Amino acid sequence: MHLLTRRRLFYGWYIVAASVAMNAYITVVFGLGFNVFFLPILKEFGWSRAVTSGAFSLRSLESGLLAPVIGFLVDRWGPRSVILIGVILVGAGMIMMAYMNSLWTFYAAFLITSLGASGSGHGVSWVVSVAKWFNRLRGRALGIAMLGPVFGGPLLFTIAIIEGHIGWRISTLILGIGVWVIGIPLSLVVRTDPASYGYLPDNAKPNNNQDSIHYNKIEDTNGMSVSEAIMTSDFWILSILFALMFLGISGLMVHLIPLLEDLHYGSTEAASMLGLMFLLSGIGRIITGFVVDLIDYRVVLTCLVGFQLLGLFILLYITPSSTFYIILFTLTFGIGFGGTIPLRPFVIMQIFGSKSFGSLQGLLQMGAIGAGVVGPIFYGWIFDLTASYNIAIYATIFTIIMTIPLIIKLNDPKASQTT
């Protein structure tokens, strides 16, 4: 306790920094980096794209089903324990991947890694910790805390280079060990709430330690329980909205590197473009984090949807020689996609409060991630039938357009926020 209170920098920012570092590495080795291994694994075993994509869909199914459980465990055990267990599983799954020799062992290793990533990623665990350490600055803290993929994305070309030199098996082995070396110390940085260490959110100065204790008791009872939240229309609107938004995007993320390689871009170039998109998504994450602290989140979310749609239309016009359009796609879609990442937990906290934030974040993640089961297989199936991803991209555009009326139907944030 004394160590924490002597630090000049508010300890909440250390948690934010640890979130960035952890999720940057997980993005590089698994979240996006594993896409680099997609075609090498497919070619070695002779599987179809739809079959190989099935592992990514099962990852989404597993993550979706486990999200409420993870949310409950975070509320019960605190985020640090959940993140630490997740790190151990990610490393174990990646190491197992290096020794797989059949489709079922590929799926098993992939699902173990996915299970760990669900607990150690910023979908639930890190979000809960950061949100409780900030109040007035919550939007920007979440925006910064979710920059991990932004910093990890540009490093994807290194995965392509490593795979090209030593192969995908040794690459996954080394990267899995790295998860333990980097992730375990970072998980130990996490603390559940500021009051236990004599802080108030945003580093507000308490008159005495009783102020922190009093605030903590208020926070524990502020907002809706899970049973109360699921009785509201906002809960179901958000569930459908998040699911529709993630439905097509999940497939696009898995197949973007193969899509670009089919246009005769090299694997390193394709990985670099995906990395650039995540780098540029940082613009959306940071701007959204600051702006949503100031204006109606419905306006912000509508603008982000507009950027996503613009990016998808641009993607349809990309050709083997249209580098300009690729960069324009990465900018527009990156901003639109990236901005929604910190906005989702912010909206949940604004509408439902902090009482059951971890559980509600997990439940609403379940709908979004669960929808991602369909996306990768759908993209792979469309390509296997037509030798093109265009129909899948048009379907993604349609599902994202469907989110606009749902955004409008959400209640006024000032009226819906629980006090």
Digit-coded pLDDT (tens) for 167-215: 889 999 999 999 999 999 999 999 877 877 777 787 776 555 544 444 4
Mean pLDDT of 59-84: 80
Using H for helix, E for strand and C for coil, what is the string for 288-310?
HHHHCCCCCHHHHHHHHHHHHHH
Q: Sorting pLDDT into bands at 50, 70 and 90, what band is 317? A: confident
How far apart are the C-alpha atoms of 223 and 275, rounded to whole Å?
38
206 within some domain: no
Q: What is the pLDDT of residues 224-251, one digit of tens each?
A: 888 888 888 889 998 889 888 888 888 8
* Residue 212 token pair: 């922190």
Q: Which domain holds residue 37?
A: 7-193+217-416
202 within some domain: no
- Using DSSP, state whether 10 is helix, strand or coil: coil
203 within some domain: no
Share of the chain above pLDDT 90, in %: 21
Instruction: Yes or no: say if 314 and 282 are a contact pair by the CB < 8 Å rule.
Output: no
- The number of distinct structural domains making up the chain is 1
Q: What secondary structure does DSSP assign to 137-165, as a single string?
A: THHHHHHHHTTHHHHHGGGHHHHHHHHHH
Q: What is the pLDDT of residues 346-393, one digit of tens each?
A: 888 888 877 777 788 778 877 676 676 778 888 888 888 998 888 999
- The CATH number of whichever domain residue 330 belongs to comes to 1.20.1250.20
pTM (whole model) above 0.75: no
The answer on pLDDT for 49 being more than 90 is: no
Crossing angle of helices 11-26 and 103-120, in 10° steps, is 170
The answer on pLDDT for 339 being more than 50 is: yes
231 within some domain: yes
199 within some domain: no
Helix (H) or strand (E) holding 214, with range, is helix 209-221
The answer on pLDDT for 419 being more than 50 is: no
Helix (H) or strand (E) holding 368, with range, is helix 357-371
129 within some domain: yes
- Residue type, position 407, single letter: I
37 within some domain: yes
Instruction: Yes or no: say if 163 and 37 are a contact pair by the CB < 8 Å rule.
Output: yes
409 within some domain: yes
Q: What is the pLDDT of residue 213?
A: 47
Q: What is the pLDDT of residues 158-167, one digit of tens each?
A: 888 888 889 8
